[in-house]
Structure 1
Amino acid sequence: MTATNGNGNAVEFITVGNDGDARQIAVCLEHPATGNALAHLVWLGGYRSDMTGTKAVELAGLAARLGTGCVRFDYSGHGASGGAFVDGTISRWLEESLAVIDHAATALGTRRVVLVGSSMGGWIALRAVAELAGRQGIEIAGLVLIAPAPDFTSELIEPNLTDAERTALAERGQFEEPTPYGPDPNIYTLKLIEDGRKNRVLAGVIETGCPVHILQGMADPDVPYAHAVRLMEHLSGDDVVLTMIRDGDHRLSRPQDIAKILEATEIFARGQ
């Protein structure tokens, strides 16, 4: 089944999961120009973001200018995809990401990809690389991580829980937190936090097998820039560049931020 998203792009739906756990994942594919050999781009969004956001759309625009393919999608419980948000976990969203990457590799006819992950999407990108390492046929040309939030449940949420939030988790299985990014509060569930512990990547050396470029705002109120520095230390075996943007916030969606993101992505897509 196909439809269109808010930007008029064709959206198709793939099924991930079986039986009662099946959910319809909305995917938007931009196909490469004939004969184009550049790696295609895969957008991995953040917590509660969707594929119509500024950075995702700008990434698709870069792909069009380069003549390469681009993949955007919504995790279950996000945007146009099915499923309930409160059922979401890192493992669940990772499963969907891997299914989309596999689907896109066949549909676009190229198996070289650049993963571009924003915030939580940076964590999922790192987990995806680990999962893909044991497979044949998918080559990661590079990772672009924007204000990455690996292990945010155990590193940034759990240590700062209030007594009221701990009680809500124990009694209701979730708590709500106001957010400046929209009228609805963020919802954090016990299953998300427990599953996050199983998906930690900051427990040892992270081996991606590809170049990595991290872009981090030093004025980020959600993910401290020290978190990006710590991530870089765990990526000690890889070719890693860390760009600190002194006045950058968590979104990094200003024109000057977008320009840096696209520049890093294009370098990896071209294999430079």
Structure 2
Amino acid sequence: MAASVPVFIDVDESSIAVRPAPGAAPGVVWLGGYKSDMLGTKAEMLAAWAAREGRAYLRHDYSGHGESGGKFTDGTISRWLAESLAVFRRFSKGKQILVGSSMGAWIALRMVQELRRAGDDRVAGLVLLAPAPDFTIELIEPVLTKSQKRDLSKKGFFAEPSDYSDEPYIYTRALIEDGRANRVMTGPIDTHCPVHILQGLADPDVPSSHALKLASMLPADDVTLSLIPDGDHRLSRPEDLDMLKRAVADMVRRAA
């Protein structure tokens, strides 16, 4: 279950909140979405599952999110990736399953690239929910309005109403420009491990076509794509949580 208080580590002058739970490997690493935190429904469900199973479970808040320090508007994919790698390297041991939700799926895919480049092949599986890799390039930039482009140019950001918060979503010029440097959907993606994608067909934020495009770039014999007819972006209903739990449990069994 969730630790009573998080521990904090400094990464690039930001205080990053981490909740590591000890247990056996393969462990599970949670990577949340844009403007989400590590105490959300899915993250908490997996914490309870991992505790029951005796599995190690690791989660953290990106800078500007949840219990971590820093400004949300200073965040970029590169920054949040560096924080995630620092947490992974410091707190995880043995094989790990990365579970990435929305933007967290982008972070997970980039983590695999960076870890393998450094000779670390401990990622034994990926479970990606409503995956949004390259979302700044693929989903935001193509539909920017003249007003949004003007705000990006003059203010350095634009704001959009959110269905998930009373506060608007902020998208900065730095985030969008940095996103181009972190693209993963430019050709075949060799994760060197099995991947299970869960995608709702009623997702208003990340279209199912995006998940299908991602799946088409992964090795066919190592990817499972589960489409949920009435699933939304959150995938937090009891039936969605059960599917997530089963996907993670299966990935752990395969890696054990």
Fold shared, TM-score > 0.5 on shorter chain: yes
Deviation for aligned residue 1:39: 0.6
Q: Does 1:92 align with 2:79?
A: yes
Q: Does 1:9 align with 2:4?
A: yes
Q: Which of 125, 144, 155 is the equivalent residue of 1:172?
A: 155
Q: Does 1:126 align with 2:113?
A: no
Name 2:30's counterpart in structure 1.
Answer: 43
Deviation for aligned residue 1:100: 0.5
Q: Does 1:61 align with 2:48?
A: yes
Runs of 4+ in 1 over 6 A off after TM superposition: none
Q: How does 1:96-107 map to 2 (within 5 A)?
A: 96-105=83-92
| CA–CA distance in structure 2, aligned partners of residues 182 and 206 of structure 1 | 33
- Scaled by the length of structure 1, the TM-score of the pair is 0.91
Name 1:115's counterpart in structure 2.
Answer: 98
Question: What CA deviation, in whole Å up to 9, does each residue of 1:115-153 have, x standing for no partner?
Answer: 000000000000000001123445111000000001000
Cα distance change, pair 8–31 in 1 and its aligned pair in 2 (3 A): closer
Name 2:183's counterpart in structure 1.
Answer: 200
Question: What CA deviation, in whole Å up to 9, does each residue of 1:56-92 have, x standing for no partner?
Answer: 0011111111101101100000001011100000000
| CA–CA distance in structure 2, aligned partners of residues 113 and 27 of structure 1 | 16
Q: How does 1:254-265 map to 2 (within 5 A)?
A: 254-265=237-248
Moved more, 7-16 or 121-130: 7-16
**Backbone CA RMSD of aligned residues:** 1.4
Moved more, 134-143 or 151-160: 134-143
* Contact 2:137–2:180 (Cα < 8 Å) also in 1: yes
| CA–CA distance in structure 1, aligned partners of residues 244 and 152 of structure 2 | 37
Q: Which of 22, 47, 71 is the equivalent residue of 1:31?
A: 22
Gaps of 5+ in 1: 1-6
Counterpart amino acid of 2:15?
Q
Gaps of 5+ in 2: none
| CA–CA distance in structure 2, aligned partners of residues 133 and 10 of structure 1 | 32
Deviation for aligned residue 1:8: 5.6
- Scaled by the length of structure 2, the TM-score of the pair is 0.97
Question: What CA deviation, in whole Å up to 9, does each residue of 1:216-254 have, x standing for no partner?
Answer: 000000000000000001113650000000000000000
| CA–CA distance in structure 2, aligned partners of residues 138 and 41 of structure 1 | 15
Identity of aligned residues (%): 55
| CA–CA distance in structure 2, aligned partners of residues 58 and 41 of structure 1 | 12
Q: How many residues align?
A: 255
Q: Which of 45, 49, 52 is the equivalent residue of 2:39?
A: 52
| CA–CA distance in structure 1, aligned partners of residues 159 and 120 of structure 2 | 41
Counterpart amino acid of 2:222?
D
* Contact 1:114–1:268 (Cα < 8 Å) also in 2: yes
| CA–CA distance in structure 1, aligned partners of residues 201 and 212 of structure 2 | 11
| CA–CA distance in structure 2, aligned partners of residues 10 and 182 of structure 1 | 24
Q: Which of 141, 146, 154 is the equivalent residue of 2:137?
A: 154
| CA–CA distance in structure 2, aligned partners of residues 16 and 193 of structure 1 | 22
Counterpart amino acid of 2:130?
A
Name 1:252's counterpart in structure 2.
Answer: 235
| CA–CA distance in structure 1, aligned partners of residues 3 and 176 of structure 2 | 36
